[in-house]
């Protein structure tokens, strides 16, 4: 299995190389040269399997010969062993025809654990085999950072540095990054927004001297291995509701477009997904783009669903690449225009996107009202991101096709917002109930590339 860049001018890599590289050297994102299709029979056979076995069957065709079957099965088993629910991704019913896919039973209580725990094990196996070391630098709006730190803490082959926007992540998110004692993990509180953190991260990847000197590796949602890990739960949940014999739709609370793009891959693999609905908060660039064709960046307005406070949605580039018939030059041109504020999607590409994706946005008031209303009707406490999904899903549901809304974080990760919305303060699960008592280790840093690079060079082991 070969991987190509969305901008068409980077080396073609195998799975392992694409995973270790993250961002392609032409600035693009890696995608499989061809997307494997799963037969009707193979999909039907997923019904009732343990999550790990389904994960192996869904992901195996993408791995090529980077890992043997035994190695890969072992990696998957270790990745999901720390989850707090036997089903890994349990499905709950909210209303007739409307289901909630709970993706928050991993060690940091957000769906990011599905990908990050797997990537942690994949990196460990690969680096050990090759006798290599890497320096992982990530930018986070809160959940990626904690999931990455949790996945790589204590690794002998990896140093981890996470840039997060100072004062703009929840206390639980921050503590999940700052209370670990392992010397190979570092949380850096940067002045600015998430988009600033993401911009500095891209600068580091484009500084080839720095990139090669420290062995820079990326685990942000642009990393193909992360997208791949997320494809699995689209299959397990759809099959639980009757696929491949009947269609299902998904609504996905979206920021960087990684999670929903995994749904797109599942659909391309043959899973009968009717609609993929993009749900955004008030930072609604994706909803506006899918409505009007104009992708224009605006200022980020902080919201109660901070993991979706994003204006530059990095994985959308992969969807554009597909919508433009895999024309890397066209995508590179759009990304050039984005540097000066935005671009217009061509009529043909917009039509291609709309064949698969619908979209909606949810205001802060509606987010709070949905948390309260869902609690009253179903006794389920939603996190604000999941509430954005539920609100948009209700508006977009078509009769006859079950709708699955992805619940992307545990409500206890955002206790202030949840309490303000419905009066109930969600407690942390037992296994992490001492989080508020643990000591924190925080490094403040300016939004300055040189300063950040110097600190990373000096602190890695």
Ligand X SMILES: *Cc1c(COP(=O)(O)O)cnc(C)c1O
For ligand X, the binding residue among 6, 146, 254, 283 (CB under 6 A) is 254
Answer for which of 168, 174, 211, 385 binds ligand X (CB under 6 A) is 385
296 is catalytic: no
Q: What is the DSSP string of 169-185?
A: S-HHHHHHHHS---TTE
Of 109, 214, 113, the C-alpha closest to 159 is 214
User: Phi/psi zone of residue 257: left (φ > 0), alpha (ψ -120 to 50 degrees), beta?
Assistant: left
d(CA 53, CA 360): 34
Q: Cβ closer to ligand X: 259 or 317?
A: 259
One of 66, 146, 221, 237 touching ligand X (CB under 6 A): 221
- Structure letter (DSSP) for residue 6: T
CA distance 24 to 74: 28
Is residue 168 involved in binding ligand X (CB under 6 A)? no
Q: By CB under 6 A, which span of 88-96, 122-130, 201-209, 256-264 interacts with ligand X?
A: 256-264
Beta strands in 60-144 (DSSP E): 91-95, 98-102, 134-139
What Å distances lie between residue 450 and 141, 208, 218, 426, CA to CA?
22, 14, 19, 41
Interface of this chain with ligand X, residues 315 to 354, rule: CB under 6 A? none
Instruction: Please say which residue, 214 or 406, places its beta carbon nearer to ligand X.
Output: 406
**Residue 459: Cβ within 10 Å count:** 15
Q: From residue 145, give the alpha-carbon distance in Å to each of 78, 129, 140, 218.
A: 20, 26, 5, 12
In terms of CB distance, is 269 or 409 closer to ligand X? 409
Contact between 367 and ligand X by CB under 6 A: the answer reads: no
Select the residue interacting with ligand X from 67, 80, 83, 257 (CB under 6 A).
Answer: 257
**How near is the Cβ of 110 to ligand X at its closest, in Å?**
4
Give the Cα separation of 146 and 112 in Å (integer): 9
Which helix (DSSP H) or strand (DSSP E) does residue 248 occupy?
strand 248-253
Choose the binding region for ligand X from 43-51, 240-248, 250-258, 447-455 (rule: CB under 6 A): 250-258
Residue 249 or 254 with smaller CB distance to ligand X: 254
Q: Taking CB under 6 A as the rule, does residue 101 contact ligand X?
A: no
- Subset of residues 108 to 137 that bind ligand X, contact rule: CB under 6 A: 110, 112
Should residue 258 be labelled a site residue for ligand X when binding is judged by CB under 6 A? yes
First to last CA, the chain: 34
Pick the closer one to ligand X by CB: 22 or 244: 22
What does the chain come to in residues? Answer: 461
Region 405-424 residues binding ligand X, contact defined as CB under 6 A = 408-409
The verdict on 309 binding ligand X (CB under 6 A) reads: no
User: CB of residue 141 vs ligand X: minimum separation in angstroms?
Assistant: 7
In whole angstroms, the minimum distance from the beta carbon of 308 to ligand X comes to 5
Is residue 255 near ligand X by the rule CB under 6 A?
yes
Which member of 112, 202, 391, 394 is catalytic? 112
**C-beta of 200: minimal distance to ligand X in Å?**
18
Residue in the structure block whose two tokens are 């072992």: 74
By the criterion CB under 6 A, which residues form the site for ligand X?
110, 112, 143, 221, 253-259, 307-308, 385, 408-409
Q: Which residues are catalytic?
A: 112
């Amino acid at each position: 299995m070969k991987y190509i860049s969305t901008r068409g001018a980077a080396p073609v890599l195998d799975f392992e190389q694409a995973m270790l590289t993250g961002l392609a050297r032409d600035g693009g994102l890696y995608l499989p040269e061809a997307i494997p299709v799963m037969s009707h029979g193979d999909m039907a056979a997923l019904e009732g399997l343990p999550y790990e076995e389904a994960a192996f069957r869904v992901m195996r065709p993408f791995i090529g010969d980077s890992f043997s079957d035994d190695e890969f099965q072992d990696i998957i088993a270790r990745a999901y062993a720390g989850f707090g629910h036997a089903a890994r991704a349990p499905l709950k019913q909210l209303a007739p025809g409307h289901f909630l896919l709970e993706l928050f039973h991993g060690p940091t209580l957000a769906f990011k654990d599905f990908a990050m725990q797997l990537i942690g094990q994949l990196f460990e196996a690969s680096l050990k085999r090759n006798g290599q070391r890497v320096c992982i630098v990530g930018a986070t709006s809160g959940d990626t950072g904690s999931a990455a730190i949790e996945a790589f803490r204590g690794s002998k082959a990896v140093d981890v540095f996470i840039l997060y926007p100072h004062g703009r992540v929840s206390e639980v998110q921050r503590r999940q990054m700052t209370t670990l004692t392992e010397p190979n993990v570092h949380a850096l509180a940067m002045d600015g927004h998430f988009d600033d953190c993401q911009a500095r991260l891209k600068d580091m990847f484009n500084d080839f001297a720095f990139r090669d000197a420290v062995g820079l590796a990326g685990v942000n949602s642009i990393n193909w291995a992360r997208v791949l890990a997320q494809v699995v739960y689209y299959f397990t949940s759809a099959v639980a509701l009757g696929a491949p014999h009947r269609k299902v739709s998904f609504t996905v609370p979206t920021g960087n477009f990684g999670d929903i793009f995994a749904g797109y891959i599942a659909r391309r693999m043959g899973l009968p997904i009717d609609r993929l609905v993009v749900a955004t908060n008030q930072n609604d660039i994706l909803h506006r783009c899918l409505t009007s064709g104009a992708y224009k960046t605006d200022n980020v307005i902080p919201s109660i669903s901070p993991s979706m406070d994003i204006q530059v949605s990095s994985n959308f580039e992969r969807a554009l690449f597909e919508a433009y018939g895999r024309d890397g030059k066209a995508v590179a041109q759009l990304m050039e225009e984005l540097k000066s504020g935005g671009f217009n999607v061509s009529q043909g590409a917009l039509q291609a996107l709309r064949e698969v994706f619908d979209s909606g946005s949810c205001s802060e008031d509606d987010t709070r009202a949905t948390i309260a209303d869902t609690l009253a009707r179903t006794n389920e406490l939603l996190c604000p991101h999941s509430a954005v999904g539920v609100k948009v899903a209700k508006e977009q549901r078509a009769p006859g096709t079950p709708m699955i809304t992805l619940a992307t974080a545990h409500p206890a990760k955002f206790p202030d917002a949840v309490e303000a919305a419905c009066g109930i303060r969600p407690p942390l699960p037992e296994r992490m109930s001492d989080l508020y008592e643990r000591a924190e280790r925080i490094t403040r840093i300016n939004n300055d590339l040189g300063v950040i690079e110097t600190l990373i060079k000096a602190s890695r082991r």
